[in-house]
Amino acid sequence: MEKISTLIEHILAVSPLPTAIVDTNMRYLAASEKWISFYNLHNTPLIGRSHYEVFPEISDRWKEIHAQCLQGKDQNAINDRFERADGSVMYLKWEVRHFLGDDGKIAGMMMTSEDVTVNNDVVMNENRFQLFMNHFPGLAWIAGADGVLKYANKCFYDTLHLTPDVVGKKSEEIFGHEIGMIANYKIEQALEKGQGIDFQQTVRDQQGHPKVYKIYKFPFADENSGGRMVGAIAFDITKSTLLRQELDKSEAQFKLAFEHSLIGMALISPEGNWKRVNKSLCQMLGYTEKEIKALSIKDITHPDDLEKTASMLSDFATGKMERTKYEKRYLHKNGNVIWVIIAATMLHDYDGTPLYYVSQIEDITKRKEIENDLVLSEKKYRTIFENVQDVFYQTDHQGLVTEISPSIEQYSGYPRHEIIGKPVANFYFYPQDRERIIESLRTHGFVIDFEVRLKTSDQELRYASVNARLIVENGVIVATEGSMRDVTTRKFQENALKALNSELTASNEQKSKLLSIIGHDLRNPIAGSLQLLSLTIDDLPETDPEQLQNYLLAMKRELSSANDLLEDLLKWAKSQFNSVTFNPIKIDNVQQLLNKCIQTVEAMAIKKNIEVVIELKEPIDLEADRAMLETIIRNLLTNAIKFTPVKGKVTIAVATNERGIRFSVSDTGVGISKEQLALLFNQTSLSTFGTEGEKGTGLGLGLCYDFVARHKGQIWAESEVGKGSSFFFTLPPIEK
């Protein structure tokens, strides 16, 4: 430990400030008498002891300050809070400085401190006053008797857009001559009366808008100078002033509205007494204002409504209800009953006590009479609606059923409640019927006797005749309404009659067709054969064998044609009159069946040099009526050869697929137009000449169609003009 010189010790001993010197380990080297007495250390050894041992309560903050000073950072404070070991608080003015040793390194630290607690209290009081005044929500200032500004708070400066430079100036300099004169006058008033005064003053802000202030001024003496001064505080009451003006204006408007309202208005006490009434209410009830104020609500209420009225008055008075709107009956002065609708609101004072309720009373007597008439009308309509046999309905613009008569259950099996709210489209058997009726409604706006097919709850078909119209409001479709009548029985009778007529027509057509074929197509070859036979007999002696052979061949051709026609005719007739028996058998040699069919048309093919090819990749077993199957194949082959030019090709193919067994007969012939293709299987006679003038019976394809249908198969054709045709038919697979 370095020694402190005697001179320094003497100087330190008489130091006017509490001072102590410590080394780098915070051990005392010296301390002044002021330090010892200031910290009450008279009986405490110091020299050589650690500062932290002497003051064990010292905080980490102070330790950090000491450490920084011993690192070369000197510090000080003029007003620092310090809590002593006994719990008392004091405020210190302190400083710590490091000093260097002979080696030029930091050798220790000198500490000084001074108690400034008394001065701090004064400063604190001033600071607290200043803090309070700066947070004061109003303007506050102090002026002398001569009008010179002594003090002003932050709100004063901010509100009036002034700076502290105005302190020491007179009112006229700060606010102008007019306002300054008023300020000085109010200062004189407060000083003369010796008590506070209050008043309102209007000034304009920087934008020229008027601002209203409530100002309080009061005299007081300055203890330091003994002079007379006036304190003042002011509050901006512009909003409350405007609110009061608006309130006054609203009250005037309410009075005008109350007195001149076209509906009755009244202020009624919680007990039910009329406090104030307007002219409209007096005219409504037939009383003068004086007469009605002498009565209570109960005095003019209809006897049947007295109990309800008393209950509501009680609820208003007890606070159970604050507002209501209801209908009731009053008695006119002449005794007539008046229906009114009342809207009432209870008003309370500041502590919640009921004052009176404001009522708006409208005469609805005429409306009630109309409503009663409507009720009777509705009752009549409901009676008709619920008992009529036809079904009346309404739908909205989206097609949802909004109303339907109970008779719907009788016809459809659906209860009425299961239909209302559902899309009307749900009840059409065929969606296209819904589309047709919508289109007709859009086009004409209505439909009459429009026939649709509906379904019952059991999914049965029912026919209905509909009369309906669109409901249009402001050019917009908002709904549809109409009626339906069940015409299922009539429709079934009409259908049965149509079917019978169709059968009779078809039967007549079949008879006419049969007679036509017999009379024309069958007669021609027989007549030709007879003529050839007559010629042959007449010229027999002179006819050479070659010519005779030609005659006989021609006769054979004519008779063969007649025979083929007769065969087809008989089969067709049997088919049409359902006299052909259907005997399906198992056929395990399709190749043999195809060869047999080709043999029947071989002469035609050879004559035109047409190649007939079979495509059968694998053995196929099938089940069919052999005679019908041969007839189908033979007719298709005959037609293919007939419409194929010389040196053409006809292919018959058989294959299996997912639908069963498919047969096809394709040719390289002239083809068929789209128009003729559509008429091939309509079971009407369609006979055309072949490429060499061959004549057909016109019955072959119709016969094919019938025989394929007997097998529950399908037949169709594909063709392109100039490139040939393909005829297809299918037979179901063998059931295993």
pLDDT digits (tens, 9 = 90+) for 56-71: 888 888 899 999 999 9
Separation CA 232–CA 219 (nearest Å):
9
- The DSSP element (H or E) to which 701 belongs, if any, is helix 700-710
Separation CA 460–CA 488 (nearest Å):
11
Query: What separation in angstroms does the CA of 114 have from each of 36, 38, 298, 451, 588?
Result: 13, 9, 88, 116, 135
Nearest one of 162, 155, 112, 121 to 137, comparing CA atoms? 155
Confidence band for 367, pLDDT divided at 50, 70 and 90? confident
pLDDT digit string (tens) for 629-657?
A: 988 998 899 889 989 999 999 999 999 88
pLDDT digit string (tens) for 120-154?
A: 555 556 667 777 888 888 899 999 888 899 889 99
- DSSP code of 530? H
Residues contacting 218, CB < 8 A, separation 6+: 190, 195, 196, 197, 230, 231, 232
- Looking at residue 225, what is its pLDDT? 47
What average pLDDT does this structure show over 36-63?
88
CATH, range 8-117: 3.30.450.20
Answer for the pair 164, 184: CB distance below 8 angstroms, yes or no: no
Per the model's pLDDT, the better-predicted residue between 716 and 619 turns out to be 716
Per the model's pLDDT, the better-predicted residue between 429 and 375 turns out to be 429
- Looking at residue 562, what is its pLDDT? 62
pLDDT digit string (tens) for 537-581?
A: 766 677 677 777 776 766 666 666 566 656 665 655 555 555 557
The CATH superfamily holding the domain 261-369 is PAS domain (3.30.450.20)
For residue 49, pLDDT over 90 is answered with yes
For residue 98, pLDDT over 60 is answered with yes
* CATH code 3.50.50.60 for 388-578: no
Mean pLDDT over the full length of the chain? 82
Q: Examine domains 261-369 and 388-578 and report if their fold is the same.
A: yes
* CATH code 3.30.565.10 for 581-731: yes
Q: Is the dihedral of CA 156, 159, 163, 165 positive or negative?
A: negative
Domain boundaries, the chain: 8-117, 121-241, 261-369, 388-578, 581-731
Class of domain 121-241: alpha beta
